[in-house]
Each structure stands twice: as C-alpha cells, then as structure tokens.
Chain A
Amino acid sequence: MSTVIQLALAVGEPAAGPAEGPAPVSLADAVAVAAAAEEAAVAAIRLLDGVAAGHVLDPTVVGAYLAGRHDRVGYVAEVPTTHNAPYNAARRVLSLDRATGGRAGVALRAGDGDEVSQATAPDPGAADPVRRWAEYAQVLTRLWESFPRAALIGDQEAGVVVDDALIRAIDHEGAFYRVAGPLDGPSSAQGRPVVVADLADFGGPLGVTAVARSADVVVVDRERAAGADAALTEALRRAGRSRKEVALLGRVEVAPDDVASSPAAAALRDGLRAWAGEHRLDGFELAPTGGADAVIAALRALPPRLTDAAGPPSPAARPLTLRAALGLPELSAVAA
C-alpha cells in the first residue's frame, strides 16, 4: 500500500498576536490550498475546529464550500461532541459525504455533551469524554447505515420512492444518548463517512480500546507513536476487527524551513520514511505551520514523492472514494 497523506488545515482568521501551532488561512487561500492538495493527490484535508492561533470557521460549512470548488480530494471535518447532538452531526457529515460522492469523513473530537441531548440524557451523571466518544461514534455509524442506498428506488410507475422495509430505526439507548433514527437520507457511495480518531484526545492506553470499534483512521503524534501499532492491533482484535481495516497516521508538523530547499525536503522525507517504518505507520497527517504559502510549499515538496517516486497518479487513476484513497477495504455492515 502506498503512503497515505492527510493534510491538517485550519480555515478562518489568524489571531492578532503570536500563537502556537498552525494558523488559520483565509477562505480564499483555502481554495488555493485545496487545489494544491488535489494536485498533490493527498487523500484528504482535515479541517481543524479551533486552534490557538486564531478564529476558525465551522469545518462542515468550510468542507461543503471547498468541495464545491475542488471535488477530487477528500474532506474530513472536525466535529466535537461538545454542543453537537449526534443526530445533527450525523446528518451534516453524511450530507457532505453524499455531496462529495463518498469523499468525506469526520474527525470526532472527544469532549462534553450538548444542551439538547443533556436534557434527556439516560444517565445524567455520565461525563467521561472517552466513554462518550465511543458511544457517540457508534450512534453515528449506525445512523449512517439506517437508510441503505439500495432502499432508494424511485419507482415512478408504482408510486414507491423507497423500499421502506430496508430502512431501520436504530433505537439507540446508552448512558449518554437516546436516539431513535433512522436518518433522513440514504447512505453514501463509500458506505458511510470515514471516522477519524485522534489519540491526543484519549491520553493513555485506554484510548486505543475506546476507538477500536468505530475508527477508520487513528492519528498519533510523535510522543504516542511508539507501540501504537501493537496496541491498536490488539484492541482491534478484541473488537472483532482486523488491523487492515484501520489506517494509522503519524502527525508531523512541517515548518517553512523544513521544505525551504531541496536538501531540507529530502532530509524530511527520509526522516518520515524511517519513522513510518519503525512504528508501522500507514501514512502521515501533515500539519504545516505558517500561512497558506507555507502549506502549499509543503504540499508541493512532500506528498507526491512520499507516496510514489513517479509523482501523483493521473486523475483518472485515482481512487473514487475517501475510504479507497485511505487504502481501507470496502465496508461490511456495522455490527448491531
């Protein structure tokens, strides 16, 4: 499998003063970044929600907008559990996925609840973000499959829009949420949107266990990369899944100086390959610091040569869905 690349991008307005980490690029610059990402054949742009260095636009809105401008790259919208009822989040992300022909996903961020769900939470005392994440992700995946594409038949002669026998309520009742379903729209071309889990949210070995049931992509930073593959493999086995069903990506911050010259970029590429080999990573999440120019420079310097010495594949040869671009197998149904 070739190396998978996901670009981390914040879109919005930079803060007035100096701040740490990636700074938001403007919406107009984000369109240029999306074009460069498409050209570089990266699998997806992960749209960050909230960074220290400025004000960030809602990632589902930005993803939907950018997909209207550049539709041959995937879009992963960060959505926190905080302030988002799962039915609403499921609808937005699936709508984005259907509008992109199956090139969308969600980076579900662990957090608190939302005002609407909290009022009727089955266990009002439940508060652990890790447990909440696991339940939330399961509600999402089940909702996304509650109205299978095959149910939409549109038989004008017989007057039947959908075969409603194929559509099922999910009737979820957990500690945090009670959600009936089904969703209002059919499943997407890739089966369901990709779920990205960021181990930075989970701290400690529990994290891998919590995400094993629902995650399609797991992102680790340098500190957590050692042993992540083994822990993930074991957690997936216990959840009845295989390591092949999940892409493990290592996050790497790229400073403008890292790609300022050919030798610098070559050294970075070598370093990344060694890192991936050592920890059995399936790819990288590139998080360039600096403005739009720096992001585009990083895209030009790194991804094509990271994935394939011959450069990016021709558009016709590219995978049709985000799931395929991530090297993930086609889906079997989610276990009930």
Chain B
Amino acid sequence: MTHLHINVNILNAGVFGGSWRFPGTDGTASYAIEHYVSIAKKAEAAKLDAVFLADGPSLDPQIRHRTANNLEPTTVLARIAAHTERIGLIGTLSSSYNDPAELARRLGDLDHVSGGRFGWNVVTTAGAVAARNFGRAGEPGHALRYRRAAEFTERVVAAWAGRTALVSPQGRPVVVQAGGSGDGRRLAARVGEVIFSADQDLDHARAFRAGIRDGAAAFGRRPEDVVVLPGLSTVVGGTEAEARARRELLDEILPGEYARNRLAAQLGISLDGLSDDEPIPAELLVDPDEAGGSQTFYRVVKTITDRERPTLGRLLKKLSGGGGHRIVVGTPEQIADDIERWFRAGAADGFNVMPDVLPSGFDDFADHVVPELRRRGLFRTDYEGTTLRGHLGLGLPAAGPYERRPLEAAL
C-alpha cells in the first residue's frame, strides 16, 4: 500500500493558546529564525514530507496573550532551504493581498532556489485587520475573495508553467489549499493538489475526501492527483496518564481572556454577558455559508455545539485556543492507532500535524510516533526523491490552457 504523508505545521510556539507558557519552553523562541530552522532539520531527519507555515499579513489583535506569526514565510522557507536538502517547504500566501505578477515570480524563484521543494498554500485571508493594512476598511466578501482566488491561482500556475528560465526540478510548485467552505471546496477541486482540511469526525472526513476527489474528476483531473491532509493536533505522552496530564496542563495555562476573545472574533459574534456555565444560544450561530470570517473554523464550532450542546466553558476547553483542528491525546501507539484508522478508512492521505508545544511536542512526535508508524509499514524509511512532488507522489499534471480573464480586486 502507499505510505501516508506527514507535514509538521510550525505554528509558532504550538497550536494551543498556552503553548508558549509550557514549562521548560522558551516563550519567545518563535520570534527567532533558529526555531524554524531547527524544527525543519528535525522534520527532515524524520523524513517528513514538508514543513508548513501558516500566515496572515497582520498583527493578531490577541498578541498580548499568545504568540503569533511574526516572520514572513518566503524568507523563512528560503532560509530553511539553505540548511536542509530534502524536506518540502510549504508556505501560506494570500491571494487577496498580493499582486499576482510579483507573487508568481517570487514563489517560482523560491521553488528554484530550494531545488523543487516549495508548495504554495493559497488562502484568501479573512478579517478586517489584514484588510486595513492594504487600504481596505473591512474584509472583502467571502464569495468575492474566492472568485479572486480562483482566477489568481490559475494565473500564477500559468506563469509558472510558462517559465523558460530558472525552472524548478519539480516543474512548478505544489498548490495547497485549505478552505472548508463551499467556495473553498470548489477551488480545491479545481486547482488544489494538497488539501489541508479541518475535520473532527472520521465519517465526515471520508465524505469530504471523496467529495474533493469527485470534484477533481469533474474538472478533468485524476483523483490521485489530490492529497487530502486533515490538521491533527497532537499531545504525546509516555503513558496515557502522562499525555492526559500534559493536556490538562495546557488547559490550565491557557490565558483565560484570550480563549473567549478568540472564539468571539473567529465566530464574528459577541460573547459578552454569556457565562461559562451556559450553552451558546443556538440563534447566535447562523448557517456557516452565511458566516463571514473563516467558515472552516465556524463549521467546526457549529458541529460541536449542535452535537454536544456544550457550555461556553466546556467549548473553550475543548478548543483550547487552537485552530479548531482535531486533538489526539495519548501514547505514541495510541496516536499511531488513530492515524492508521483514519488512513485505512480513506478519511485521510496523511496529516498536517500541529504539535501541542514547539519544539518539545514535535520532538516527541518525531522520536516516538514516526518510528511507530514506520514499524507498521505506514511511513517511509527514507526519501525516494528530492522534490516535494516526489515526496507526495504527485506527478506534474499539464497546467492546461489558460485564458487570461480580468482579476477582481479584493474589496
């Protein structure tokens, strides 16, 4: 059988709101380049497919309480490229707030410089905070952002396909896409080669993956040319009790004010006056397709609230200041069991792993979970190729004809 694919998401200090406060952690390490380089080297030693950098062109308004993105991804990945040889390099760059001519050139150049290891995670960038850094008063509408993203991405891919100089050993960068909304899924089916999804439930994830593959086929693509990698937050312990204790400690050190503010901001609603002991009133959460902001996150929260009717306090603990991705807590064997179950069920081609605390949580994953997956024959023992496309088993599909259409400004 084919192997699964694993990326590590270097989400600054870790996926939880309190990661940066974890005992024994340098709280501001994620503000220095060495943090990213050393984790990438560790990921390469573990033969992972790629490192992944999330990003948004703005300062997180919650910066007082948690660390956030603070280094621009193409410069970080170029630096990592200088210190590594094989590991793939995936960076998030906005289709709303970049000029397509400049971005196509820079990303194509990064692919050349890294020897064919780059992947572009296309995001449309939610939120008014980023919009204000580019002359906008507020966030552009969801549908418009995705219309622009579709045209923008096709234009960038066409520019890469048309390069005659400074070409890359993998032909052109891999296109990664993460949107869980209806618009996002259409974009994924049309141009996505790696899909970074968010799913709490195996059956739902399997249906999502099947939908993406069918959608790709409907656009004339081969289903196997799309690799679906759900986000997976990991809390690894030597014993189950150790892992649970680690998880509880992460809850305890979550800055309280932060969790509430973040949830309110991500849902685009006010939680003022709501106590931790009451459930979120159902009427506050509209249908996800009508929500602004990040629909993926909204959908995850709505699924949890519809199913479990948790109190606000319980919901905040469950999310723990993370991105709404599924959290697995356990021994290396238990985590490998979970990964294997999802993989064999056709719910995932692998995972975008989001360690609880960086670097310690990733060290535990690389040193203990990866060898366990290897023992089960699920993960590579060495790289076979040198490019990101090679690691992911993606060929170089024809870029197809591109007819340049007008690009709508994200307004």
- Residues of chain A whose beta carbon lies under 8 Å from any beta carbon of chain B: 12-13, 27, 54-55, 57-58, 60-69, 83-85, 87-88, 91-92, 94-96, 98-99, 114-117, 119-122, 147, 152, 154-156, 159-162, 164, 167, 177-186
Given the known A-B contacts A99-B33, A117-B134, are A186 and B64 also in contact in the complex, defined by CB atoms under 8 Å? Answer: no
Interface digits, B44-73 against A, CB 8 Å rule (1 contact, 0 not)? 000000000000111110011111111110
User: Which among A12, A88, A155 has the highest number of chain B CB atoms within 10 Å?
Assistant: A88
- B410 partner residues in chain A, CB cutoff 8 A: 116, 119
Interface membership of B109, Cβ < 8 A: yes
- B60 partner residues in chain A, CB cutoff 8 A: 184
Assess the A27–B63 pair: CB atoms within 8 A: no
Partner of A62, one of B37, B80, B99, B113: B113
New A-B pairs, 6, CB < 8 Å, besides A65-B78, A95-B71, A159-B255: A61-B78, A61-B110, A65-B82, A67-B79, A99-B76, A178-B135
Stretch of B20-28, B263-271, B341-349, B391-399 that contacts chain A: B20-28
Can you report 28 residue pairs joining A to B where beta carbons are below 8 Å apart? A55-B165, A55-B166, A57-B112, A58-B105, A60-B106, A65-B82, A65-B113, A83-B102, A88-B98, A92-B72, A99-B75, A114-B99, A114-B102, A115-B99, A116-B97, A116-B98, A120-B136, A152-B28, A154-B28, A156-B20, A160-B64, A161-B28, A161-B63, A164-B64, A178-B135, A179-B133, A179-B135, A180-B132
- Residues of chain B whose beta carbon lies under 8 Å from any beta carbon of chain A: 18, 20-21, 25, 27-28, 31-33, 37, 56-60, 63-72, 74-76, 78-83, 96-102, 105-106, 109-110, 112-113, 132-136, 165-166, 253, 255, 407, 409-411
Assess the A87–B57 pair: CB atoms within 8 A: yes
CA–CA, A286 to B280, complex, Å? 66
Assess the A61–B134 pair: CB atoms within 8 A: no
- A83 partner residues in chain B, CB cutoff 8 A: 99, 101-102
CA–CA, A160 to B97, complex, Å? 30
Chain A nearest CB: distance from B386 CB in Å?
15
Chain A nearest CB: distance from B276 CB in Å?
18
Assess the B79–A119 pair: CB atoms within 8 A: no
Assess the B20–A154 pair: CB atoms within 8 A: yes
Assess the B102–A161 pair: CB atoms within 8 A: no
Chain A nearest CB: distance from B206 CB in Å?
37
- B20 partner residues in chain A, CB cutoff 8 A: 154, 156, 161
CA–CA, A271 to B64, complex, Å? 56
Given the known A-B contacts A13-B166, A60-B74, are A161 and B65 also in contact in the complex, defined by CB atoms under 8 Å? Answer: yes
User: Which among A152, A159, A179 has the highest number of chain B CB atoms within 10 Å?
Assistant: A159
CA–CA, A116 to B409, complex, Å? 7
Partner of A119, one of B32, B80, B135: B135
Chain B nearest CB: distance from A243 CB in Å?
33
Partner of A68, one of B56, B67, B83, B101: B83
- A84 partner residues in chain B, CB cutoff 8 A: 99, 102
Return the 8 tightest CB-CB contacts between A and B, nearest first: A68-B82, A120-B135, A119-B409, A185-B70, A64-B78, A180-B132, A83-B102, A154-B27
Say whether chain A's binding surface is mostly helix, strand, loop, or mixed.
mixed
- A120 partner residues in chain B, CB cutoff 8 A: 134-136, 409, 411
- B56 partner residues in chain A, CB cutoff 8 A: 184
- A66 partner residues in chain B, CB cutoff 8 A: 82
Assess the B59–A161 pair: CB atoms within 8 A: no
Assess the A87–B82 pair: CB atoms within 8 A: no
Chain A nearest CB: distance from B104 CB in Å?
10
CA–CA, A156 to B253, complex, Å? 9
Say whether chain B's binding surface is mostly helix, strand, loop, or mixed.
loop
CA–CA, A329 to B222, complex, Å? 60
- B97 partner residues in chain A, CB cutoff 8 A: 85, 87-88, 116
Assess the A68–B81 pair: CB atoms within 8 A: yes
Assess the A99–B79 pair: CB atoms within 8 A: yes
Chain A nearest CB: distance from B83 CB in Å?
5
- B133 partner residues in chain A, CB cutoff 8 A: 87, 179-181
Assess the B21–A156 pair: CB atoms within 8 A: yes
Given the known A-B contacts A68-B83, A186-B70, are A61 and B28 also in contact in the complex, defined by CB atoms under 8 Å? Answer: no
Assess the A117–B31 pair: CB atoms within 8 A: no
Chain B nearest CB: distance from A120 CB in Å?
3
Chain B nearest CB: distance from A29 CB in Å?
13
CA–CA, A64 to B75, complex, Å? 5
CB nearest to A49 among chain B residues = B105
CA–CA, A105 to B116, complex, Å? 27
Assess the B69–A184 pair: CB atoms within 8 A: yes
Given the known A-B contacts A65-B81, A116-B99, are A147 and B59 also in contact in the complex, defined by CB atoms under 8 Å? Answer: yes
Chain A nearest CB: distance from B321 CB in Å?
12
- A69 partner residues in chain B, CB cutoff 8 A: 82
- A94 partner residues in chain B, CB cutoff 8 A: 72
Assess the B407–A115 pair: CB atoms within 8 A: yes
Chain A nearest CB: distance from B221 CB in Å?
28
- A87 partner residues in chain B, CB cutoff 8 A: 57, 97, 133-134
Chain B nearest CB: distance from A89 CB in Å?
10
Assess the B99–A85 pair: CB atoms within 8 A: yes
Assess the B79–A65 pair: CB atoms within 8 A: yes
Partner of A167, one of B27, B59, B407: B59
Assess the B75–A60 pair: CB atoms within 8 A: yes
Chain A nearest CB: distance from B97 CB in Å?
5
- B80 partner residues in chain A, CB cutoff 8 A: 68
- A60 partner residues in chain B, CB cutoff 8 A: 74-75, 78, 106
CB nearest to B137 among chain A residues = A120
- B136 partner residues in chain A, CB cutoff 8 A: 120
CB nearest to A92 among chain B residues = B72
Assess the B65–A61 pair: CB atoms within 8 A: no
- A159 partner residues in chain B, CB cutoff 8 A: 18, 21, 65, 253, 255
CA–CA, A116 to B131, complex, Å? 10
- B68 partner residues in chain A, CB cutoff 8 A: 184
CB nearest to A97 among chain B residues = B75
- B100 partner residues in chain A, CB cutoff 8 A: 115
User: Which among B56, B100, B101, B110 has the highest number of chain A CB atoms within 10 Å?
Assistant: B110
CA–CA, A18 to B112, complex, Å? 24
CA–CA, A152 to B133, complex, Å? 21
CA–CA, A156 to B13, complex, Å? 12
Assess the B82–A61 pair: CB atoms within 8 A: no
CA–CA, A85 to B94, complex, Å? 12
CB nearest to B167 among chain A residues = A13
Assess the B135–A156 pair: CB atoms within 8 A: no
